[in-house]
A and B are shown apart, each in its own frame.
Chain A
Amino acid sequence: MNISLDRLQQAWQSQCSKPLDVNPDQLLNGIRLERRMYFWTDVSISTLILGAGFYTLWSAFQDIQQDWPWLIYVASVAWVAGFLLFDRWRRRGDAAHYDEPLLAHVEGAIKQLEHQKWLSGNTLWWYVLPIAVGCMIPPVLLFARDYGKRPLFDSLIPLLLIEVALAATFVLGFLVMKYQRRSGIEKRNREIQELRALRETLLNTDE
């Protein structure tokens, strides 16, 4: 039996549905909870970073001549916080909006995912390494400053222990983050692939 498109359209348009009455508050409960969680996570991390930064800065300024190496740590924390804020500011207009035309939405989503992937792939350079440098260099500089004032082994052994412990912590932390993020990157790669296929279909370039 041959069905014309007109017949299909007629059947399609004959579908009926009941009007819906939804209280937006019901809809928003879930999302409010999610946003509150993100907000408080952001606030906690920022407070921790800023608190640590200000405390170190304050300690360093108590005796700037003596404790200046700790300013390197402050600079590294400021670098990470600054990078986070700058990145958010730079990408503020890139979020894909749901009321855009489909092609624009797909392109926005691809850009967003590629950026997230780039960030995940560069955790070492943007986050781990600056903090590691900021934490590991001041003890060495303090050791160098006090060199000769105390018996060598009294200051060298603690320095080595601190440096080894810090290095191990950062390497381990980096490996854990890398492992956790690998699955995230794989998921994003899949999504990007799907979005690219979608864009190709939209643009008809598969012909």
Chain B
Amino acid sequence: MGIANHELQFRQWLGEHTGLLVKVVRSFAEGPADQDDLFQEVLLQVWLSMPNFRDDSKPTTWLYRVALNTALAWKRSEKKRRHRQSLPSISDVAAPDVSSAEAERNDRLVNQLYAAIRALEPAKRALVVLFMDGFTYREIAEVMGISESNVGVSLNRIKKELATAVKEDEDEHLSR
């Protein structure tokens, strides 16, 4: 891939799949400063890994791999907070839709879901993000590098954990 194509592809992917990156970032980092830091790290790794991209994998699957690996590495790294002012911040792209009561309710639910996901172990977070985005067990297995049956077993347990956590939050919200 030539430099010009590389840049064109990068810009096209960011135009189409920013949402995917935002979801990974919000699932792994809490608070604007950490989210910006991870977001910038993900963008950087996407750009640096692009020469390895082969057309036999879907861009979304590939982007998820890069974003999740970066998030997992960032999670354990102590080199955080290298926030670069000139680079995009997550608030530039994450745009909650609160135009209707339904959208507002969705937004609240999503925030609770993110909090519940961040409470999970890092590997489980990766599974949930992919599952929530509608990936099949086979696709999840491909991104994670584990067997489909393993994905099934893990997800069954996590789904229960998640449903309970979000349900409790929702009940709490209603009781206020």
Residues of A within 8 A of B (CB): 1-5, 7-22, 24, 26-31, 96-106, 109, 187, 190-191, 194-195, 197-198, 201-204, 207
Contact = CB atoms under 8 A, between A and B. Distances in A.
Contact of B11 (A22, A30, A105): A22
A101 B22 contact: no
A19 to B, nearest CB: 4
Contacts of B126: 102
Contact of A19 (B14, B45, B73, B103): B14
Contacts of A99: 49, 52-53, 62, 65-66, 69
A109 B78 CA distance: 15
Nearest to B63: A99
Contacts of B49: 97-99
A26 B44 CA distance: 10
A8 B23 CA distance: 14
Nearest to B109: A11
Contacts of A98: 45, 48-49, 65-66, 69-70, 73
Given A28-B47, A101-B143, A1 B113 contact: no
A9 B131 CA distance: 8
B29 interface: no
Contact of A109 (B66, B73, B87, B95): B73
Contacts of B92: 18, 20
Contacts of A187: 78
B56 interface: no
A202 B69 CA distance: 13
Interface residues of B, number: 71
Interface of B: 7, 10-11, 14-16, 18-19, 22-23, 40, 43-45, 47-49, 52-53, 62, 65-66, 68-70, 72-73, 76-78, 82, 84, 86-88, 92-97, 103, 106, 109-110, 113, 121-124, 126, 131-134, 142-146, 150, 153-154, 159, 162-163, 166-167, 170-171, 174
Contacts of B131: 9
A33 B165 CA distance: 44
B19 A15 contact: yes
B29 to A, nearest CB: 16
Contacts of A7: 109
23 contacts: A11-B109, A12-B23, A12-B113, A12-B132, A15-B23, A16-B19, A17-B18, A19-B14, A21-B11, A22-B87, A24-B7, A27-B87, A28-B44, A31-B44, A96-B69, A98-B70, A99-B66, A191-B77, A198-B72, A198-B123, A202-B123, A204-B150, A204-B154
